[in-house]
Amino acid sequence: MTDPPRAYHLGLIGYPLEHSLSPKLHNAALRALGLAGEYRLYPVPSTGAGERELRALLEQMRAGEIHGLNVTIPHKRAVIPLLDELTPTAQAIAAVNTIIPRGGKLIGDNTDAPGFLADLYRAFPSLRPAHPVASPKLQAEGADLPHAFILGAGGSARAVVYALLQDGWQLTIAARRPAQARSLVKDLAPYARRASVIRPATFDFRPAACDLIVNCTPLGMSPNVEASPWPEDVPFPQGAAVYDLVYNPRETRLVAAARAAGLPAVTGLGMLIEQAALAFEHWVGQYPPGVHFTPDP
């Protein structure tokens, strides 16, 4: 087994990164465990010299100079051809948010999916499906499964859709580009469990009823805090919970509007913490204290 480094060099690749909270989370985790090191931001654009910078960072990782990297927009899918292997979760989602050096290879994983599911059920425990996954009896009877309405069809949406399909949800995917929603449905439908249903829709479609609305678009993210993916003149479905993956600002316009309408609503700050803890454990071999994550069976 390789000896741990004297100091951990970790970081986040993406663009832009000015408002990322990841350094605070990971640096606090290092300090809590008494480990030397630093988590840095690596702003790498997708144009110009961005590809060369991305390759250079991965070479530093291969050389043992960087011990762990997170990946965010716009590189979650673009980084895949530069890696040696993918975990089954990352392969299914076709998006990577965590890179792990192992035995001279770079392994791509996606901790967004389990991180989202853990925080979803922490925030809204009543939404957890009551029946065991993959029950043949339920499939035969066509049981009444929870229904989620997903806004967006990018890398974050793929992680959310994969997680919910694995837990037996019915899903409707709405995107500004219908072809992108259809592509997501085609790619991820084979991973559905139980009697799950996944179908695309246009972005201006609004459900008459659903249990959960998940915003997987960047609309409302700082500094564009006045934006929202939900039109002001369209009422929310009664009884739905709202989960906004955007976590900066602490209360997005979507979350504020949902709460004003009497709906339970949260941002993605909890998901950020959960996925970060899982990535940190991959790199350091220890789970950061103070974070409680219980994966589904």
Give the domain CATH number at 89: 3.40.50.10860
* Statement: residue 134 has pLDDT above 90: no
Secondary structure element (H or E) that encloses residue 13, with its range: strand 8-14
Least confident of 12-26, 38-52, 142-156, 263-277: 142-156
DSSP 104-156: TEEEEE--HHHHHHHHHHHH-GGGS-SSPTT-HHHHHHT----EEEEE--SHH
Do 102 and 249 lie in a common domain? no
Tracing tokens 């059920």 back to the chain, one arrives at 121
Read off the pTM.
0.86
* Statement: residue 199 has pLDDT above 90: no
* Residue 135: predicted pLDDT: 44
Counted domains in the chain: 2
* Statement: residue 296 has pLDDT above 60: no
Of 110, 141, 159, the last residue of a domain is 110
Do 164 and 102 lie in a common domain? no
170 within a domain of the structure (yes/no):
yes
Do 54 and 150 lie in a common domain? no
Do 147 and 55 lie in a common domain? no
Find out whether 237 and 256 touch, Cβ atoms under 8 Å: no
- Region 106-119: mean pLDDT is 96
Q: Given the DSSP bridges, would you call strands 265-267 and 198-202 parallel, antiparallel or unpaired? A: unpaired
Do 83 and 171 lie in a common domain? no
Task: Compute the distance between CA of residue 280 and CA of residue 178 in angstroms, rounded to an integer.
Answer: 36
CA distances from 283 to 39, 76, 190, 250 (A): 12, 18, 30, 28
41 within a domain of the structure (yes/no):
yes
Of 110, 128, 159, the last residue of a domain is 110
Catalytic residue among 76, 105, 137, 186: 76
Do 132 and 194 lie in a common domain? yes
* Residue 297: predicted pLDDT: 30
24 in catalytic set: no
* Residue 175: predicted pLDDT: 86
Give the domain CATH number at 238: 3.40.50.720
Parent domain of 189: 114-270
- DSSP letter at 264 equals -
The CA-CA-CA angle for residues 96, 190, 138, to 5°, reads 125
